[in-house]
Amino acid sequence: MTIEPRGDDARLARHLAHAAGLALLEERTGTAEGKALKDAGDARAQAVLAALLAEHRPGDAVLSEEAADSAARLSAERVWIIDPLDGTREFSERPRTDWAVHVAFWEKGELASGAIALPARDVVYGTDEPPVLPPRPEGPIRLAVSRSRPPAFVTEVAQELGAELVPMGSAGVKCSSVWTGEADAYLHAGGQFEWDSAAPVAVARAAGLHTSRIDGSPLVYNRADPQLPDLLVCRTEFAEKILATVARHIPEVIAR
């Protein structure tokens, strides 16, 4: 793929996510296990993304899970927000496929574009070609939730909604499950960072999904403190109902 040095940031996001994903697939064919494999994956994907950003967008700032933060991004107009390997735990559990590479591009206050690769599923989703939502089958709401640490409040909200929980790893994979139609919503609280949701939220918005904090307020990126502890991504027809149910639990979420 030829990438112009300036211009199409959305295409570049796709290219970067794809390239880091290929490197991760190769890394996973080695003999490393457990923490060694997680660390090798984090480092390898970070190196690929950092090198490509330095080559194609040398003037842009970067916020990455795997690199030191710099205050320079707070006054920058162009910032890449990247999670080189989201779902690190699942990446280390061969042959699981629920792990992702997140590449978001933020410009002048807003997420402008982004892409997420699911390398073990051989797919890249991006704002350049937004996913098309499939029709929804009849049945209860299906809530995507962390498989390893589902927040207690999500389980309680699911009971009130009469919803089914669909456990899986990676924030990006959970968001993608909403636009592929495997789930209707991804609800999370209790801790996360901007890189966990920036690229998936950019793609979710492009696909026409609802995206917000769990109190309904906007998700804001490139803040001084990169913690962004909760979010709701869902089909728009469920947003009001889910937010109203969540609202009854927000005092206990804040207390935890």
Ligand X SMILES: Nc1ncnc2c1ncn2[C@@H]1O[C@H](COP(=O)(O)O)[C@@H](OP(=O)(O)O)[C@H]1O
Binding partner of residue 177 among Mg ion, ligand X, none, CB cut-off 5 to 8 Å per kind: none
Q: How far is the CB of 44 from ligand X (least distance, A)?
A: 14
Q: How far is the CB of 151 from ligand X (least distance, A)?
A: 8
| Window contacting Mg ion (CB under 5 A); options: 1-9, 81-89, 175-183, 228-236 | 81-89
b/e per residue 212-244 (b: at least 16 CB within 10 A): bbbeeeebebbeeebebebbbbbbeebbeebbe
* Residues found near ligand X in the complex (CB under 6 A): 65, 83, 86-88, 146, 148-149, 169-171, 190-192, 196
The first and second tokens of residue 17, run together, are: 């996510």
**CB nearer to ligand X: pick between 150 and 216:** 150
What residue type is 70 in one-letter code?
Answer: S
Q: Which of 27, 66, 90, 196 binds Mg ion (CB under 5 A)?
A: 196
Are the C-beta atoms of 243 and 232 separated by less than 8 Å? yes
Are the C-beta atoms of 61 and 72 separated by less than 8 Å? yes
Binding partner of residue 131 among Mg ion, ligand X, none, CB cut-off 5 to 8 Å per kind: none
Q: Which of 27, 83, 98, 230 binds Mg ion (CB under 5 A)?
A: 83
Query: 141: burial class by Cβ within 10 Å (0-12, 13-18, 19+)?
Result: buried
Task: Point out which residues bind Mg ion (CB under 5 A).
Answer: 83, 86, 196
